[in-house]
Chains A and B, each alone.
Chain A
């Protein structure tokens, strides 16, 4: 491998972050936007050069820089898609903060760019401890983003975010140390094929679960998420919902499933139970929210619960569905938080009741908001439909009861999203100040247009996104096959019918009587 594209992708935002610390507001914004756009272009180059169906690990880089762990980077299709999601959302985040952040702009942009470095690092790392460093390091910029530029109750939210996720993660470190000691390597691809004793797997699985469940977040440790979202600035919410939550899903798919397949099968009931509770409970909670951001935050918990259930369904459909769900949710929830951000910038409130009838004075905005609402519900033609359909089809192989409950969540999802949309965009213009808000400007329009295009692309032709992941998911499925539990839907293949279903017998009295 000649050109170290992955390292360059890490280096560009890192250098820009350091530069931003010393720049004044205007140039910091431009530098940050340029850096994230360069990274996006590099991401496109990465995707274009990714050899679909080629080697599992591509763009591998390896340098013996450190003792105890390696600087080893490399990506497979799963990581590629999540990297694309991150580099796609980052310029949008910078644009979203263009006018709304006026205080300490340089530091703000530096924190965001550092965040990008660490997120990309998580998806690229091929060494256990390098992964941990990136995974855990992400807490620092997010803590600052919430704490310095957040809303009124930002200090409580920032502490809660930090300590919750830290407590979850530290046990994972001990598990990683144990694994590296037992397997004699910290190389992730090797560990993915290493068979740990089943007894140890259980403890290791629980330690990783503690970390990922908090990060995901799964019920009942999800409570930090609504607080963090509500208090974070708009771009912070976008990146939190869009990418940070995906780190946990990526963790499940990269560590928990391939490294501890037996334990994963044993704890499938736990994942399913928590996911089912989460979907129904958080959807009901979302229904009664007055705060738009809180509502979307709870809907995120519900959607991520479908991801966890799908990933632990132990079949290709589930894994593919979970991945598409993560990508789709990254785009859609990011877009929804932007929708909130756009009107928050104008009226400085997130109370649903303070709006109403926005479709009259903000028709462009209402159109985009409608599209993303529908995508969140899972309307065919949007990414949400593909995600939900494939995920639930996968879960159905494993448990029809779980599917039943998860589907209820989707119905409730339609209820709370449509209810939200009705109260904000339709009805009377009961508030004069809300009725006077101007429609989208060019900057906002371009952010929404980019997201809308991606959502529709993923909805209409998901193959573009599934193709790079296909062979990796099949490899993972093959690895899981040894432990895959039997599903409860035991289909029996009966004798084939003699005729097709629409067959009409001609010239027979007996069939004629049926009319």
Chain B
């Protein structure tokens, strides 16, 4: 294991760190006026990171080939898949952010720089193969998230969201750390394959506690029930572009981290955590669906929708098979497209004075006042509800297929039946936009960047997406196989 190869496989993180530090210096010297330029530079750094990540050799899953620094990080095809998705989501968030803050005099160069550091942390989360690197990546990304949530310094809702997020996030981190210490104590190592090897001979009850604590902490991070209660408040309070970010990139990172954690170090004791995952999955689907029904605020509703989606993702994890892991990755791609589509549409919904339209009453009759936007949202909502022929159906299809193949028919049946409850509130979007009379006059034009993100998302989730299934399926199953090849 030479340093050259270690540096090569962590090239993405190193490159992004250098870019972040340089941009930070530029910001320090030029001040707020260069924020837009910094954003463009940050986006190009991320584009470069995607290009470099995609070029990394991932073909051979041979042991140790693509791991760096003595097994601290592993750049296998799973990590590559997740990272590219994270960077793409981050780029999309950077594109839709500036206008929102500029109008509130709050856009500064720190934002894109923090995004870059957040991206590094998220990249580490999905490629970490050691509890220590995992924790560093987690904290790096969380730290920037706390700042984002309270980025509108003058807005008390934003401050409250930041504080809530910070306190509950710190609590979750503490729980994870405690779980990790127990795992370390019983396994004698923080290395993933070492933990797996140690537990394969002997799995004491204390280690089970460790696993449960780690999973509970991770459930906080992915906002799975019963650790979801921060989500609606933070999503509602945080500035909308930040909410879009929270719902996309960090979600991918946290799910990726959870999947690797569950399947690699704890992959030998599937039965130990499967019940927990099944419970969290069904509870998330049901609570996410029921909680959304009474909501009037669209951001809050989308928060519950993300809880609901996490439930479906966990169905794939409960399968604990390569098909399940690949289904999660496919789901994540589609979920990110749907989330970014819905939030960029939300950012485009403003009245004539530029005030955001955030409740159902505000968007009634949108199909007559802004038909293009309304039709895009219709696609997104039917897709979120999982109604074919939209591509959101495919996401549900693959996770339930994995669950059925793993013999979890009751879980699949309950999960899919509960998805009908979810369909109810997605339909409400359509009903309000298409069936009701218009009450408020929305702003007629929207910036190009928002349209680009929205249209790209809508194309992904349109029935055209099915043509990508052979490619997406093979890439995702290759990525999933990497997790099982290690074992």
Contacts and interface: CB of A to CB of B under 8 A. Distances in A.
A53 B419 CA distance: 44
A159 B409 contact: no
B434 interface: yes
A140 interface: yes
Interface in A53-84: 64-68
A159 B421 CA distance: 12
Interface in B391-408: 393-394, 397-398, 400-401, 404-405
Contact of A133 (B389, B404, B416, B427): B389
Contacts of A66: 466-467, 469-470
Size category of the binding interface on chain A:
35 or more
Contacts of A342: none
B69 interface: no
A133 B386 CA distance: 11
B401 A68 contact: yes
Contact of B409 (A132, A162, A174): A174
A391 B402 CA distance: 42
Interface in B216-232: none
B435 A67 contact: no
B423 interface: yes
A360 interface: no
Contact of B423 (A147, A162, A171, A178): A162
B402 to A, nearest CB: 9
A123 B289 CA distance: 33
Nearest to A150: B435
A174 B404 contact: yes
Contact of A173 (B368, B382, B400): B400
Given A68-B401, A68-B473, A137-B388, A174 B413 contact: yes
A173 B412 CA distance: 10
Contacts of B427: 143, 159, 162-163
Contacts of A139: 387
Interface string A170-181: 110110011011
B434 A67 contact: no
Contacts of B469: 66-68
A229 interface: no
B424 interface: yes
A163 B419 CA distance: 11
Given A65-B466, A177-B412, A147 B393 contact: no
B327 to A, nearest CB: 10
Contacts of B423: 162-163, 166
B417 interface: yes
Contacts of A23: none
A154 interface: yes
B387 A147 contact: no
Contacts of B394: 68
Contacts of B430: 143-144, 147
Interface in A121-137: 129, 132-134, 136-137
Contacts of A129: 397
B171 interface: no
Interface string B3-14: 000000000000
A139 B387 CA distance: 8
Contact of A136 (B368, B388, B434): B388
17 contacts: A64-B470, A65-B466, A65-B470, A66-B467, A67-B472, A67-B473, A134-B388, A137-B388, A144-B434, A147-B435, A148-B434, A158-B435, A163-B420, A166-B387, A171-B413, A173-B400, A174-B413
Given A66-B470, A166-B387, 19 more contacts: A67-B472, A68-B397, A68-B398, A68-B473, A133-B389, A134-B388, A139-B387, A140-B382, A155-B435, A163-B420, A167-B420, A173-B397, A174-B413, A177-B401, A177-B404, A177-B412, A178-B404, A181-B401, A181-B405
Interface of A: 21, 64-68, 104, 118, 129, 132-134, 136-137, 139-140, 143-144, 147-148, 154-155, 158-159, 162-163, 166-167, 170-171, 173-174, 177-178, 180-181
